[in-house]
Amino acid sequence: MESQNSAQANKPAANAASRIKKEEKISNVRGIRNAFLVIIACAICAVCIFLFGMGYSGNFEGGDTANHPLNLAGTVYKGGFIVPILMTLFLTVIVLSIERWIAISSASGKGNTTKFVADIKADLAANKIDAAMQRCKNQKGSVASVVYNTLVKYKEMDANTVLSKEQKLTTLRNEVEEATALEMPALSQNLPIVATLTTLGTLVGLLGTVMGMIKSFQALASSGSPDSTELSTGISEALVNTAFGIATGAFAVISYNFFTNKIDNLSYAIDEIGFSIVATFAATH
């Protein structure tokens, strides 16, 4: 009877420990989960800027958008309907780049990642597991989360008297891989979209360029003297779209490579410290 009561009393504690463990398995990386909403919002902003900002009557001679533009905004407006599409792509790259900057900065933690890894390795060498776990709590971020979960498993294996040494090492390696697999996809989230916009922005800009040149050649091919207004409109459309396409593609390439490098550095740090934890356990047990 007493054993049954003891088992029932231990159930809440076990359930609580299980809940804590599940909470610890949640990724620390925060970011925009639905990039489609970002694209829609950027499209709305781009159309509003195109129609009400660049298409403002004061940007054209006589207040008519059919006339020659008086400034750069009017010239961009002459780029045609491809311009708001390119603006949508460009704004999307900017917004997702800012979002990834915030997400990856939070994943890096509060302090310098290189120093954190060195401090954890020093704690492991001195067998200060509790100090290393506290350092992880202070650091926060993806690297600290992976290390903390691995150190929790380290202590469990240290107290385990059933498993063999090889089984314990395999369990530690699996814990590192599992914790890493939880964090890495969240770090790379939305970057495939930025990579797609690298090519898509250039191709859409090229499409606008071709359409503008078609208009220019149509003006040249008209009977009699060429219509200078139509000719200039076609050239403006071609050059504006070219500029937007190049700007979108260039910014997307820079953004993608920059954040990919940041993620690689975090991944290297996780691999290094995970190897150190396993090696320390192997050397001390």
Residue 259 lies in a domain: yes
Domain coverage including residue 64: 32-284
Residue 183 lies in a domain: yes
Residue 17 lies in a domain: no
Alpha-carbon dihedral sign for residues 54, 58, 59, 62: positive
Residue 24 lies in a domain: no
What is the pLDDT, as a whole number, of residue 228? 67
Nearest to 266 by CA among 100, 69, 48: 100
- Buried b or exposed e, range 47-83, using 16+ CB within 10 angstroms: eebbeeebbeeebbeeeebeebbeeebbbbbbbbebb
Query: Rounded to an integer, what distance in angstroms lies between the CA atom of residue 116 and that of residue 133?
Result: 12
Name the percent of the chain lying above pLDDT 90: 25
Residue 6 lies in a domain: no
Q: For the chain, what is the domain count? A: 1
Q: Encode the chain (285 residues) as per-residue pLDDT tens digits.
A: 444 444 444 444 344 444 434 444 545 566 777 888 999 999 999 999 999 998 998 888 888 887 878 888 888 888 888 899 999 999 999 999 999 998 888 888 887 888 888 888 888 888 888 888 888 888 888 888 888 888 888 888 888 888 888 888 888 889 888 888 888 888 888 999 999 999 999 999 999 888 888 877 777 776 556 666 667 767 777 888 888 899 999 999 999 999 999 999 888 888 888 888 888 888 887
Residue 239 lies in a domain: yes
Residue 8 lies in a domain: no
